[in-house]
A = this chain, B = another copy of it.
């Protein structure tokens, strides 16, 4: 097949999968490009995966313990600066604009709307932004504190501005993350243990997966160098599965941040050294959809072992 043939074939597979997901109430259309709701079965499976992940977190809990925290999908715009997100991934971020005008400004806004113009261009920055990764609010929360190798367990919603016809790519999606902040050895150990345990869970769920080095989509020309460096240093691993034969999709990732966040948020270990961090994350909707691709749209008919692993029977 030529490159064009391969691309057309992939697009056809994506369209067929999306149509199946929508026809079987797994995905619910919204008015937002690339934004989708979930039907009852998909949501049950998402909750089941999160629950199985909590089981791993309990099993792997280190001596310093595991803490379950929860951050909302919105944070300060300043978080995007502090994590370097605006420098590294501007193409994916989303900030929030609000209306702070009076009656007269509101009449203008409504006039623009009546003329079918883009009234949202008349709004002003609210100081809030969408959270692009579930662990970012954590570092800001811990700013300036001593860390001891505790694992933080987080489930939250991410926004990334990359609307796509591929149903596996969500603009807004949930991640389960297990984050450890401590010594370089603790961070490295965390990444390794979770990469193995995460691969194990996905395999038990009947998925054919493989882990591979990867890179984040750093922006622009300078970003190409950062991507190559990240890949060479093996800082990022993804767990991939072939929802579309021949085209692997990442459904989980394991990242070593070295001292990136420790430096940015002044996180230090007991000896005063800058802390290292590592995180492991499941893309909850992606894992759920990969399971639907593998086992079909009727969860009641899934293998008993899979249902049991998800706490569904």
Contact = CB atoms under 8 A, between A and B. Distances in A.
Contacts of A93: 98-99
Interface in A96-151: 96-101, 103, 106, 109-110, 113, 118-121, 123-130, 137, 140-141
Nearest to A38: B70
Interface residues of A, number: 73
Nearest to A87: B110
A225 to B, nearest CB: 13
Copies of this chain, whole number: 2
A231 interface: no
B76 A33 contact: yes
A221 to B, nearest CB: 6
30 contacts: A28-B69, A30-B72, A30-B140, A30-B141, A31-B75, A32-B74, A32-B76, A32-B127, A35-B74, A37-B69, A38-B69, A38-B70, A40-B68, A40-B69, A72-B170, A72-B172, A73-B73, A73-B74, A74-B159, A74-B171, A81-B113, A87-B110, A91-B99, A95-B96, A96-B96, A96-B159, A97-B97, A106-B220, A118-B125, A157-B157
